[in-house]
Amino acid sequence: MEVEPTPKRFLMLGLFSLAQVTNCAAWINFAAIPDKVLETQPQANLFWLTYLSMIFLVTYIPVNPFSMWVIETKGIRYALILAVFIQTAGLWLRACINYHFMYCVAGQTIISLGQPLIMNMCTKLSAHWFPKKERVVSTMTAQSCAIVGSSIGFLLPFMFVEPKKYKGDQMEMSNGLQTVIRGEIRDMLIFLAAVETLLLLLIIVFFQEKPDGAADSKNDESVPVAGQEDQASLLGAEQPAIAAVEGAEPAGERAGMLEQFMALMKNRNYQLVLWSTSLMISAAITFATVVALMLEPYHYTSEDVSLLGFLQQLAGVPGSILAAVVLYHRRSAFRPMTLFAIVGSTLTLASFHVAATQMPVSEGFPVAMMSMVLNGFLLAPITSYAFEYAVEVAPETGESMSSGLIMALSNTIALAEILVIQQQASGNPDQHAVVRWTMSVLYLSSALAYVLQHQVQLQEDEDKPKEGLNGLKESNDETKEVGRVEDKYNGVYRIK
């Protein structure tokens, strides 16, 4: 059944988007100030600083199946409240950083446990609250707020921890200055915890599972109409049929999670989209995690890194808006837009590489800044629309399953990339090793992503009479009169 649009859908999207913002801000807000943390926290070292962001990649993998089960069986309201409650507890524990740095480590670990519930819920929220034509826009809006959260995560240290304001004699009192900076870092963490607490209360009071009066059936499945059973029976008892009236959500999610997973593994288009988008998302994660270490040998300050990271992430918002407008009017633009983003983001990354490593800071910083802005504008939209892209090529499975696998693979690849970079750079007397290994990994990821994405086959014209999305073609046997459609990749049948 097509979702009836109501004004309340924007409130649900807004609350969920705020959860995305705080989640990503908590993930990355130490990345811009590793030097300040090392100087002011005796128990901190490079391993634990990297851990603060890497733990989100590590925990996502084992927690991902549980998060999909919670979303599919308990619903998005239960899942969102659970996620934000977990992250609120972790944020307040993290604010005890000045008692011992391990409180921050433990709190960050707890926060990471709530991330999969939030990230995997995006397309399910759109399916529950938005008409089909609006879903790509709503999903990209929510995912764009993750980009906003990352940009805020880079900006917060710049707002709270600003050592340039300490001049004169205070700079000579290292112990006093360290105490001040420790207090500023603590204040930043308390601010995030307070915002998350307020958000939790708002979600408990206002967030709903579905619109008032919506059917209780799962995934907005349509109510059977007269004659529908007869049409479904024409498909034959041996076919794992999906029967739904026109405009309904695919009913394949009735199958268990294992069946859905196996269907996705057999879907060639989905596999190509999964790997190509995951490679680009992981590249963005890796770059954001190690950018401060990359720039350290080239005399860039933590304030420079904070500003560059903020601008890169913020530029992704207008890029995502533009991509949403294009996809709203032409859903077949997924593939060409992704190919363009891969090529463009790789070129801007190369420009940043040259500016940061081959030019003095005074000359290279403006070029590096412009390169980061263009990189974020081109690359961030992939993260925003990857989930809807997955739904587009695999409509027969649950939204949380198809999108959850993308984030799980992205985090796995990013974790492997960061470990390789750190392993090769640790103990290496050559300070430029981090840059060389990082850029090699990112260039390789982009090349593989382009090759895979180029092989995706999507319907170029949705109005063609003989072909539908995802390579779906009409069959020509005796069941043609009921509009049987055959998926040439998955062998799944459904009623038009």
Q: What is the pLDDT along the chain (496 residues), one digit of tens a residue?
A: 577 888 899 999 999 999 999 999 998 888 778 878 888 888 888 788 888 888 988 898 899 889 988 998 899 999 999 999 999 999 999 999 999 999 999 999 999 999 999 988 888 898 899 988 888 888 888 888 888 888 888 888 878 876 555 444 444 446 667 788 888 899 999 999 999 999 999 999 999 998 887 655 444 443 343 444 443 333 343 333 333 333 334 444 445 777 888 888 888 999 999 999 999 999 888 888 788 778 878 888 877 887 888 888 888 888 888 888 888 888 788 899 999 999 999 999 999 999 988 888 888 999 999 999 999 899 888 887 888 888 888 887 777 788 888 888 998 898 888 888 777 766 666 667 778 888 888 899 999 999 999 998 865 534 444 333 344 444 444 333 333 343 433 433 333 3
Among 301, 34, 48, 185, which Cα is nearest to 177's?
185
- CA gap 88, 314 in Å, rounded: 25
- CA gap 430, 427 in Å, rounded: 9
Tell me, rounded to whole angstroms, the distance of Cα 291 from its chain centroid. Answer: 19
Query: Bridge partners of 467?
Result: 473
* Residue 238 DSSP code: T
Give the ranges where 75-100 is alpha helix by DSSP (H).
76-94
427-448 exposure pattern, b = at least 16 Cβ within 10 A, e = fewer: eeeeeebbbbbbbebbeebbee
Give the predicted TM-score (pTM) of the model.
Answer: 0.68
